[in-house]
Structure 1
Amino acid sequence: MIRDAFQPAALGPLRLRNRIIKAATFEGRTPDAFVTDELIAFHRAVAEGGAGLTTVAYCAVAPEGRTDRHQIWMRPEAVLGLRRLTDAVHEAGGAVSAQLGHAGPVANAASNRAHALAPSRQLSPLSLRVTRAATPGDIRRIITAHARAARLAVESGFDAVELHFGHNYFVSAFLSPALNKRTDEYGGTLAHRARLARQIADAVRAEVHDEIAVLAKFNMDDGVRGGFGLDESRTVAGWLAEDGNLDALELTVGSSLRNPMYLFRGDVPLREFADQFPPLQRWGIRLGGRKFLRTYPFHEAYLLEQALKFRAEIDMPLILLGGIASRASVDTAMANGFDFVAMARALLYDPQLVNRMREESEAVSPCTHCNRCMPTIYRGTHCVLTSP
């Protein structure tokens, strides 16, 4: 029987009002690394618009694990603000998830005033600084930090946590043979490279049990030569399913470190990105940015073909992400056996879209996929077409 995306659904121990998830997109509304009224309003609007679950991004598990120092990192001092946010979402009828992770080599070392950690020492193309290879002590600390952050999420009133296993952040970098050159128990074979992801999922589940749902954003394909690809990712997804620590996988692609547009299909707003930086960096981005920000055409449900390979093999709930911009694409996901869909840009354009989809079978997001929302993360993520 084909699922109805607009009827209540179980996500682990959590009961959602529908199967529509607001995907994590950094909101740019935490200038002091704490919740603001603007961040609360952002997620309240999504909940009022009908989404079953909205995801707060990005909640780092350690201060050096942020992509810059303006992001929230999970510590007791953040709980009061986070509780205000979760209360606001619940009052609007929605549920709310905290995206937990460590940025690893994607972290901004200069902004964080701390070395960026990676599986192996390497030059970061983002910061042009050399990352530090994580020691066994660093790895143990970061595993523990994920469990501690999940406990803080429970105390803050979150209904779920999403573990960030994608985009060449810390865990994803360990999975990548292009980035992980270690020779210890965390490098080399696929089983060794997958050890960190499995240990973090296990530690988080052991901490929260069934108090909240636990899901993970997981790379199907880095989109990088020699990186983590479909054959290896399906194997690791199978291991994660067998371990039984996750309630769902949200399937994603791309590398924030080397190929971000592999996830964000559509136009490349190179000039708008360049304008966010000082003159010297601006010139460099305009000159060489096309090598980093490559062009991939947009079409609805553009990750469906890759995700179907997982659906055919993996026995656990799966969340389809990527170009879900109409009621038709939601229905297509359900017809192909996916349990949930995740939306981002379409809800930036219109937070009320889920309500419209529920009422109108022909509902389509007016989002043009210009991607000019992406550079706005530096001043409050928004759609430039609806709120310039």
Structure 2
Amino acid sequence: MSTPGRPLPGRGAPDPLAPATLGPLRLRNRVIKAATFEGMTRKGLVSDELIAFHRRVAAGGVGMTTVAYCAVAPEGRTDRHQIHWQDEALPGLRRLTDAVHAEGAAISAQIGHAGPVADGRSNRMPGLSPSRLFSPLSLQFTRAATVADLARIVDAHADAARTAIDVGFDAVEIHLGHNYLASSFLSPKLNRRRDEYGGSLENRARFPRAIAQAVRDAVGDRIAVLAKLNLDDGVRRGLQLDESIQVAQWLDQDGSLDALEMTAGSSLLNPMYLFKGPAPLKEFAAAMREPVRTGVRLLGRTRLHSYPYQDGYLLEDAKRVRAAVGLPMVLLGGVTNLAVMNDAMRAGFQFVAMGRALLREPDLVNRLAADPTATSLCIHCNRCMPTIYSGTRCVEIA
């Protein structure tokens, strides 16, 4: 039942702020805190700052918050300070899930392997990719993953999902986007293999589908299983929308997921493609160490592009996926107010995900519930992005 005075999204469309079911979960509303790397896990352990970060969002009214991200293998971290599923991290993860539950929200762990996006220098082990390539992030060559590597990483995803249950998570979100390892296999630009994992789209999708199936087989219906998948990579010869639709259909047919969230862009080759808005080159350079700092100043515009921002900017492309699959879907991208949420509900999406808007205002969902005409204070300047190296936050907040 909707709150008195709140405008309904439209005939037959659900109220985004009313309770909803996600797989085996019952959420207090349809708003999910999107996975935005927090930069608060020095030495790969949960910090008090990380707990406070998610507690604030949970207290602010979201149905579920997402921890971003928990690598399934040591070489799958974007840097060595990221969480991976080591025994030392588990007590802190339990404290984190308990804190979120105490505020009435559910909590999801984003699990994945960074692949070519991993910082091999920081991890002190080379990143993995479908084919050997030079990484502009670590200034090293990656190692082409062997079939044995892929089997190990599939199993590691299953192990991570089981461990997530043990420490109190309600859901896992499998990272199949942004040219992390699974996504890089989908990309014809990055995947030049000639075995059963390369060439045709069916072959390129074999590894991501195996990951999703292994996670589902590991957890059954004990927790919800979501996946984040690119609409397109935002680069020439990368994964394109028509191929993405087919991959989404295969995942739907496999029955491995409870919901699908569409994203976009390549953390390796075109990271701003997802976020839209200006590229904060000055702030990125200031956050880097030499020689990367000088590289960003001199060459940053060749990699960090600016794109026009508008609310709900992924909706039109995501609607094409929505029309092609029966899975519940999560709309991401420029979700800042009830108008966008209602548009998503009318278009057949069951959930929405908010990122930057909740960095600016962790209590935005509560504010929208109290005042349906409220608008996010986020100005989409993207200056929050470089803060991932020092603790993700909105720089507009004094």
Query: Same fold by TM-score, threshold 0.5 exceeded?
Result: yes
Q: TM-score range by the shorter chain?
A: over 0.9
1:150 equivalent in structure 2? 161
1:208 equivalent in structure 2? 219
| Structure 2 counterparts to residues 70-109 of structure 1, below 5 A | 70-109=81-120
* Contact 2:185/2:191, CA 8 A, preserved across alignment: yes
Identify unmatched segments of 5+ residues in structure 2: 1-11
Partner of 2:140, secondary structure, is coil
Runs of 4+ in 1 over 3 A off after TM superposition: none
How many Å separate the matches in 2 of 1:30 and 1:361? 35
The amino acid of 1:176's aligned partner reads S
Q: 2:204 aligns with which of 193, 197, 200?
A: 193
1:132 equivalent in structure 2? 143
How many Å separate the matches in 2 of 1:279 and 1:41? 32
1:332 equivalent in structure 2? 343
Deviations 1:331-373 (A, max 9, x none): 1111111110000000000000001111212111010101000
Shift of 1:220: 0.8
2:380 equivalent in structure 1? 369
| Structure 2 counterparts to residues 49-88 of structure 1, below 5 A | 49-88=60-99
Partner of 1:206, secondary structure, is helix
TM-score normalised by length of structure 2: 0.96
Deviations 1:244-283 (A, max 9, x none): 0100011100000000110011111100000112343222
Residue 46 of structure 2 is aligned to residue 35 of structure 1: yes
* Contact 1:75/1:149, CA 8 A, preserved across alignment: no
Residue 270 of structure 2 is aligned to residue 259 of structure 1: yes
* Contact 2:272/2:307, CA 8 A, preserved across alignment: yes
* Contact 2:24/2:223, CA 8 A, preserved across alignment: yes
Shift of 1:121: 0.5
The amino acid of 2:155's aligned partner reads T
**Percentage of identical aligned residues:** 63
| Structure 2 counterparts to residues 272-311 of structure 1, below 5 A | 272-311=283-322
Shift of 1:44: 0.5
Residue 14 of structure 2 is aligned to residue 3 of structure 1: yes
2:246 equivalent in structure 1? 235
CA RMSD of aligned residues (A): 0.8
Deviations 1:157-179 (A, max 9, x none): 00000000000000000000000
How many Å separate the matches in 2 of 1:33 and 1:193? 31
How many Å separate the matches in 1 of 2:171 and 2:289? 38
* Contact 2:278/2:305, CA 8 A, preserved across alignment: no
How many Å separate the matches in 2 of 1:202 and 1:281? 38
2:392 equivalent in structure 1? 381
Shift of 1:284: 1.7
Partner of 1:221, secondary structure, is coil
Residue 321 of structure 2 is aligned to residue 315 of structure 1: no
Q: 1:220 aligns with which of 202, 208, 231?
A: 231
Aligned pair count reads: 387
Identify unmatched segments of 5+ residues in structure 1: none
How many Å separate the matches in 1 of 2:73 and 2:139? 22
TM-score normalised by length of structure 1: 0.99
